Structure 1
Amino acid sequence: MSLSKKITLPLRAIQGVFALVVLALSGYVAHWYNTTTVISSPSEINFLFFCSLWSLLSIATLEILIPRVIAPKTAASNYIALGVELSNILFWFSGFVALATFLSKLLFCRGSVCQSAQADVAFAAAGWLIWTGTGVLMVRDVMAKGGLAMRPSWKRSGAGSKQPVEVPATKEEV
């Protein structure tokens, strides 16, 4: 088992815990808005609710579906996993920045709902950092496997052959 595999599994557990915490906090704030005020819950809260659900599905996909069911040990599984990982990085970053911006523009913020929303921002930011860390590990692994690395054409032409590549002349050179 490689070092990144040993590191990734505990990080996935932490991602799952943070996703559950953000799910609970976002659910509490959304419930407060929907039952106490005449307006519905802000889209920023709803988006973080989606982010936490997406993360839980992603963790199941990355740790169970891709390695065992979808495409074990193929190049396609590397790209699917990388796409799932990068989507989580994007969603968490968007979510915590949007909620932080929303909270900064409120005229007043007090009580347990405000504190829950502020904690939601903090846990979402921490979740983004952890997803970024596992994303870096995944990009490193995919590049080490040769999945995303651009190779010169002489490396593809055969084992050990370093044939020069002929470059066509431009009109100015002729």
Structure 2
Amino acid sequence: MAVTEHSMILFPLRILQFLFALIVAGTIGYGVHWYNQGASNSPASMNFLLFNCAWTFLIILYAILGPIFLSSLADTTHAYAIFAIDVVTMIFWFAGFIALAVFLGDLDFCIGTVCPDLRAGCVFAAFEWVLFVVSSVISGIRAFRARGAAAPKPATQLNTL
């Protein structure tokens, strides 16, 4: 795997994305557990954020390990796949933190430590969205530069008249 300027930027970014997803999974997981202990089920916005965490763990594994083990995909195809996955994940995180913020804003009262934990989870989900905006931009630049580099150059023909 060739070390490029993009991979040197994206690897620490992927580590941050993993850590933030872990924090969100912990805080939202506590909220889901708290709701499931009561008389009602956990809200869909919390369940969706838990899905986002699991999805993020999987795509980070693919983004880091894919070029290493699938060296044939390390060029243009992999760059487009990473770009598409980053954009989809960015949309997921945006929808998730907005849905949770709306849910928390509509609550009339909240009991115990679950509300501050859910608010913290929502804030970290918003930061996760920002991280995926950055990685989407970087991977988009990488994908479209890879497309330009991979395009075959037309053969020039010399006239010998």
Please indicate the TM-score interval, normalised by the length of the shorter structure.
Answer: 0.7 to 0.9
What SS does the aligned partner of 2:147 have? coil
Relative to 1, partners in 2 of residues 1:24 and 1:70: Cα closer, same or farther, differing over 3 Å?
Answer: farther
**CA deviation vs aligned residue, 1:45-76 (integer Å, no higher than 9, x gap):** 00000001100011001110354237433432
Is residue 119 of structure 1 aligned with residue 130 of structure 2? no
Alignment partner for residue 16 of structure 2, among 7, 14, 17? 14
CA contact (8 A) 1:70 1:77 kept: no
* The structure with more radius of gyration: 1
* Gapped regions of structure 1 (runs ≥ 5): 148-154, 162-174
Alignment partner for residue 158 of structure 1, among 145, 154, 158? 154
Counterpart Cα distance in 2 of 1:43 and 1:112:
20
Q: How many residues align?
A: 153
Counterpart Cα distance in 2 of 1:160 and 1:101:
61
Q: CA deviation at 1:110?
A: 4.6
Counterpart Cα distance in 1 of 2:156 and 2:100:
54
1:4-83 alignment to 2 at 5 Å? 4-35=6-37, 37-69=38-70, 71-83=72-84
* Gapped regions of structure 2 (runs ≥ 5): none
Choose between structure 1 and 2: higher helix proportion: 2
Q: Which runs of 4+ in 1 moved over 6 A?
A: none
Counterpart Cα distance in 2 of 1:130 and 1:157:
36
> Identity of aligned pairs, percent?
32
Relative to 1, partners in 2 of residues 1:70 and 1:92: Cα closer, same or farther, differing over 3 Å?
Answer: farther
Task: Give the TM-score normalised by structure 1.
Answer: 0.80
